[in-house]
Amino acid sequence: MLAHREGESVNLKLTAMRREELDSIHSATLEVLNDVGVKFPDETALKALENVGAEIDFKNMIAHMPEQTIKEALKHAPSKITLCARDPKHDVHLEDRQVHFMPSGIGVYIYDLETGVRRKATRQDTVNVSKIVDALSNIHVLQVMVSPGDVPDKVADHYKFLAGFNNTTKHVSNCIGPITSDDGARDIVRMASYVAGGRDELKKRPLISVHQCPTSPLQYDLHGLRAIMEYARNSIPVAIFSMAMGGGTAPVTLAGELVIINAEFLAGLTLLQALNPHCPVIYGSVASVMDMKTGLLPLGAPERPILQVGVVNLARYYGVPNGMTSVGHTDAKMPGTQAGFEKVLTALPVVLAGANLIFGAGAIDSANTYSYEQLIIDDEIWGALLKVTQGFDVNEETLAVDSIKKVGVGNHFLGERHTLKHVKEYWYPNLYARLKKSENRWNTKILGEKDLAVAARSKAKEILANHVPEHLGQGIHKRIKLAVAKAEKRALH
């Protein structure tokens, strides 16, 4: 541990990457951006980049970006971002090494809370998820983790934001849906402005944010590109998070994969700053490595947190906020021991690195399926991990010399005022009790009955039955609901 001064807190954080390592990744990235370039399949995007010094191959829709263009874009990008909430006490500040959590997102399937059957998600699931997140203390930002399958795909994002606005006072962030484009983004910005009290108020206090994956290697898809351009024009925070796959859509070496991730991010940031200087942009990542035995993208692989720690270091290198960092995922098909193992394995290093915003809660089955029970369990895990990051204070009060002298040799501290004063600082589980009771034999039935998922299911049901979020005013609710209805009508014609 590093030496500290009297009164300072000892925080447990990973050591930063060496400056020369970051310099090397940066230099390699600049070479790729200049010589290879990034594809932006939209003429407006290409012209905006041309205006800030990029060399454009309009035939192949590839932008080659020189170092000076990237350097100027980084000058404009904000170094701190606040994800504002309807209730300001839930504002999330993406700065320094403050760690926050949100659910995973854009899932299609969910385990039914009553029957346990895996089924397609619905509008009611978006409402339920929003309400549960509103009640959980260790999930700081709402991402509606499933897309409703009972509405047209074109308006799935609209319904997710509708559910979020109505059922939480926390910040609402969502991954841009696969066919959401600039028209959908305009609708959602309008809805958010109703909640914020107008367009100017929304710019002052952005109640929403979005995140979008480039298509590795080194290209953006048309719909997502146009959507983030529209959000950026309205000063909505945009996270760019690469889903590069080492050995598949990126080099097999982690350093080479980080070059692809970094190039895709810097290219996107440069475009958004060209469209709207000082637009808030967040450095994220959902990258992993290819399982060469199956061809799959394993989300519980130990290489994932190594990559994400690299991304956190690169974000600090450039002086931009990091977030929408994907860990705490699992390839387990349902909640249980594998899920817990992989979630802690992938999340802990990134938490200790001080990532600003981490998502993964609620996701199982390589993010193909989502679970109310897992959402509750992950809130418990995140609470414990946050406690680990706090470390401990070293000062006259915490050293407790007077208390030690008073108790002396062989006695206990249970009745001491010092104990009563500080015992509340301990972390305690909510889903299980620390009881000293042994089992006489290995029993899989008892193991199942005592699994955290059983307690989590009960807690999820209790929240849905009793928790009442602070709803929007009736007038605002009608306006955003009407905006969704108009978008749905347009999608059907």
Q: Residue ranges of the domains in the chain?
A: 80-245+277-390, 392-425
Q: Which two tokens stand for residue 240?
A: 């760019």
> Judging by beta carbons within 10 Å of its beta carbon (0-12, 13-18, 19+), is residue 191 exposed, middle or buried?
buried
Residue 5 pLDDT: 47
In 3-state terms the chain splits into helix, strand, coil percentages (rounded to 5) of 50, 15, 40
Q: Does domain 80-245+277-390 have CATH number 3.40.50.620?
A: no
- Concatenated DSSP letters for 227-278? HHHHHHHTT--EEEEE--EETTTB-SSHHHHHHHHHHHHHHHHHHHHHHSTT
Predicted TM-score (pTM) of this structure: 0.93
> Judging by beta carbons within 10 Å of its beta carbon (0-12, 13-18, 19+), is residue 78 exposed, middle or buried?
middle
Residue 441 pLDDT: 75
pLDDT digits (tens, 9 = 90+) for 380-432: 999 999 999 888 899 999 999 999 999 999 999 999 999 999 998 999 989 88
pLDDT tens, residue order, the chain (493 aa): 334 444 555 555 566 789 999 999 999 999 999 999 999 999 999 999 999 999 999 999 999 999 999 999 999 999 999 999 999 999 999 998 999 999 998 899 999 999 999 999 999 999 999 999 999 999 999 999 999 999 999 999 999 999 999 999 999 999 999 999 999 999 999 999 999 999 999 999 999 999 999 999 999 999 999 999 999 999 999 999 999 999 999 999 999 999 999 999 999 999 999 999 999 999 999 999 999 999 888 888 899 999 999 999 999 999 999 988 888 889 999 898 899 999 999 999 999 999 999 999 999 998 999 999 999 999 999 999 999 988 889 999 999 999 999 999 999 999 999 999 999 899 998 988 877 777 777 777 766 777 889 999 999 999 999 999 998 988 999 999 999 999 999 988 8
Residue 9 pLDDT: 57
Residue 3 pLDDT: 43
Find out whether 389 and 12 touch, Cβ atoms under 8 Å.
yes
> Judging by beta carbons within 10 Å of its beta carbon (0-12, 13-18, 19+), is residue 18 exposed, middle or buried?
exposed
